[in-house]
Amino acid sequence: MPAGPTAQPQVQPQYAPAAQAWPPNPTAAVSIRGLFKRFDRKVAVNGLALDIPVGSFYGLVGPNGAGKTTTLNMVTGLLVPDAGTAMILGRNVWSDVNAVKRMIGVMPQPDQIFDRLTGMQLLVYSGMLRGMPRAEAASRAKDLLGAFDLAQAANTMVTDYSAGMTKKICLASAMIHSPRILVLDEPFESVDPVSSANLKDILIEYAKTGGTVIISSHVMALVERMCTHVAVVNNGQVCAAGTVEQVAAGEDLEDRFLQLVGGRHEAAHLAWLDGGARDSVGAPAGAPVGAPVGNAYAGIAPDGRGAAGATASAPAAAQPGPGAPSGAPSNESGAR
């Protein structure tokens, strides 16, 4: 999606070290400086800095363990940082936490909701928690249940929902008070294509009317298609941020992501995973189950007994190489 009229494109991608020196931007939807969080000896977020423009559809991407969720938890007031500043629409997240919580909608995790309520009850409860009158909350809950194809399940307890239905009710509960900023961690995970398309329409419309959407996602094609902006997080820092076009820099976003975060390595090749050329225990196709392979005995005999007594006829490829330890058991004995 192209940058909306209200988006304030960041001219250059940001790089974390330089960004630390800038003061927070009070006109940004979210402005983060020097955010730091350590869990015991693990530094999860390491001086992260980022500005998210008002009206943007902002994707946060990064490898597993990069620090996305920890960052979002700190920005939404769920987790106290060890250091740094985060502002939401000019308000400090930790000194003005009540004002901030009214302005943001955070998608709860499935284990954080009261799943003994029905979908309708959960939404009404979520609205009333944010100060909405019951009648208005009920009316919006009905709209949301319809929009997410959950009308039939309105009176079913959430504990009986499927994973995708639970995800949708979590999303709906983040939206019911019409927040100015929506923070959604992996919002499309396990949601079916029809509901996803409906949700995307709702979110795009919301961003067009000035709302800011922040999603974390591993689906690069989705980020490229839906988001106006993207930040790549790696090792607890932002390694590139800006409009999707700026960060992609003329390449496919996924390729650019792989260049930025690295991580493609030899472990991506598993010699034993060969789709049938060898049997499941490493013997050549067609070899009797339980045939010894190199120095290792690879399985059990067809009759279910152990391999003792099996004679060696391992293929050359499975023979120990010249560097094999001299004390290694020989194939003669078969078993080890």
Ligand X SMILES: Nc1ncnc2c1ncn2[C@@H]1O[C@H](COP(=O)(O)OP(=O)(O)OP(=O)(O)O)[C@@H](O)[C@H]1O
> In whole angstroms, how close is the CB of 28 to ligand X at the nearest point?
22
3-state secondary structure of 46: strand
Asked if 111 touches ligand X (CB under 6 A), the answer is no
How many residues in the shown chain lie near ligand X by CB under 6 A?
A: 11
Binding part of the chain for ligand X, among 59-67, 204-212, 249-257, 303-311 by CB under 6 A, reads 59-67
> In whole angstroms, how close is the CB of 185 to ligand X at the nearest point?
8
Measured from the CB atom, the residue of 64 and 152 that comes closer to ligand X is 64
Which of the residues 147 through 206 are near ligand X (CB under 6 A)?
none
Query: Is 258 exposed, middle or buried (CB count within 10 Å of its CB: 0-12, 13-18, 19+)?
Result: middle
> In whole angstroms, how close is the CB of 39 to ligand X at the nearest point?
3
| Cβ pair 125, 117 in contact under 8 A | yes
> In whole angstroms, how close is the CB of 31 to ligand X at the nearest point?
20
Tell me the helix, strand and coil percentages in the chain, rounded to 5.
30, 20, 45
Tokens of 112: 């954080």
> In whole angstroms, how close is the CB of 70 to ligand X at the nearest point?
3
Q: How many other CB atoms are found less than 10 A from the CB of residue 163?
A: 11
Measured from the CB atom, the residue of 45 and 137 that comes closer to ligand X is 45
Measured from the CB atom, the residue of 74 and 287 that comes closer to ligand X is 74
Contacts of residue 68, defined as CB under 8 A and 6 or more positions apart, other chains included, come to: 60, 61, 62, 185, 216, 233
> In whole angstroms, how close is the CB of 159 to ligand X at the nearest point?
24
Q: Comparing C-alpha atoms, which of 90, 119, 100 is closest to residue 25?
A: 90
Buried-exposed string 38-73: b where 16+ CB fall within 10 A, e elsewhere: eeeeebbbbbbbbbbbbbbbbbbbbbeebbbbbbbb
Measured from the CB atom, the residue of 234 and 243 that comes closer to ligand X is 234
Measured from the CB atom, the residue of 89 and 238 that comes closer to ligand X is 238
- Rounded Cα distance between 237 and 34, Å, is 9
Measured from the CB atom, the residue of 198 and 235 that comes closer to ligand X is 235
Separate counts of helices (H) and strands (E) for the chain: 10, 12
Measured from the CB atom, the residue of 68 and 140 that comes closer to ligand X is 68
Q: How many other CB atoms are found less than 10 A from the CB of residue 109?
A: 13
> In whole angstroms, how close is the CB of 47 to ligand X at the nearest point?
14
Element (H, E) at 163: helix 163-175
Measured from the CB atom, the residue of 79 and 204 that comes closer to ligand X is 79
Which of the residues 24 through 53 are near ligand X (CB under 6 A)?
39, 42, 44
Binding marks (x or -) toward ligand X, 60..89, rule CB under 6 A? --x-xxxxxxx-------------------
> In whole angstroms, how close is the CB of 273 to ligand X at the nearest point?
23
Q: Which residues bind ligand X (CB under 6 A)?
A: 39, 42, 44, 62, 64-70
